[in-house]
Amino acid sequence: MNREELKNILPHREPMLLVDDVILTEDGECVAHYTVRGDEFFLQGHFPGNPIVPGVILCEMAAQSSAVLLTDAVRGKTPMYTGINNVKFRKSAKPGDTLEFRCRLSRAKHPFYFISGEATIEGQRVMSGDFSFAIV
């Protein structure tokens, strides 16, 4: 799915649409990508001369990627974070980097969904964690 197709699922729009494309695998995993261009709003002032994607933005990117796993539940509704657990940051994401997010549904009890995910750049882990959402 490209950005335009994702807009049919996600309620996010520019500048907060933080996923470029998504592939849903046969084994139930979501693989999403985002290339950091360098002109994003979240890089302004974080940090001058050394732009680094903030950790909270990496978590938001993971959340948007995760929401695609919940397409049927999300369509026409809003996925809201209810928890962020066991998050670890291991490497910085900078302009020019392409982040790959891999997310998998751990369990669900509508309207709550629990997802584990990680982000990598060229195979090196950048971030990992467990995320929970309520679909409202």
Domains contained in the chain, CATH given = 3-97+125-135 (3.10.129.10)
pTM over 0.85: yes
pLDDT in tens, the chain (136 residues): 999 999 998 889 999 999 999 999 999 999 999 999 999 999 999 999 999 999 999 999 999 999 899 888 887 888 899 999 999 999 999 999 999 999 999 999 989 999 999 999 999 999 999 999 999 9
**Is 46 one of the annotated active-site residues of the chain?**
yes
Whole-angstrom Cα distance, residue 13 to residue 4? 10
Q: Which of 12, 33, 46, 110 is catalytic?
A: 46
- By CB neighbour count within 10 A (0-12 exposed, 13-18 middle, 19+ buried), where does 76 fall? exposed
